[in-house]
Structure 1
Amino acid sequence: MVQTIMDSLTEILEIKLQKWQPDIATQVREKIREIIELADQDALDILRSRAIEQEVLDLLDES
């Protein structure tokens, strides 16, 4: 089942990468590389912390 999900995600990603503008596709590839590296280092919690921190900063900027 996991293989089927990954195959589906891979197929969707390949289609999207071809449709997106080259600079967007490049950014997506880089983000995916970063996520894989963080997962390999068991450090995805750092990524979540940064996202939450950014959300807080955005909220502060709005007020």
Structure 2
Amino acid sequence: MTQIAKQLDQKLSTWRPEVAAQVEQMVSEVIELADTDTLDLLPSKTVVQEVLDTLDES
């Protein structure tokens, strides 16, 4: 098991159930995107924030 997998496994048991469920959903989505080779199509948080900032300025 990789270090990140070990860390995720440890953290999931310490978080509130609803937080753990959200993280599991997000990780599942990332795995699916990686499996379909579409991971690079996700906008970065920086890009999303820039768009939101631009919309706020309008």
* TM tier relative to shorter chain: 0.7 to 0.9
Match of 1:44 among 28, 31, 39: 39
Deviation for aligned residue 1:50: 6.0
Q: Percent identity?
A: 36
Q: Root-mean-square deviation (CA), in Å?
A: 1.8
TM-score scaled by length of structure 2: 0.75
User: 1:46 & 1:36 partners in 2: Cα distance?
Assistant: 13
| Equivalent residue in structure 1 for 2:51, among 49, 57, 60 | 57
The two structures have a TM-score, normalised by structure 1, of 0.70
**The structure with more helix, counted as a fraction of residues:** 1
Partner of 1:30: 25
Name 2:2's counterpart in structure 1: 7
* Number of residues of Structure 1 aligned to a counterpart in Structure 2: 55
SS class of match (2:40): helix
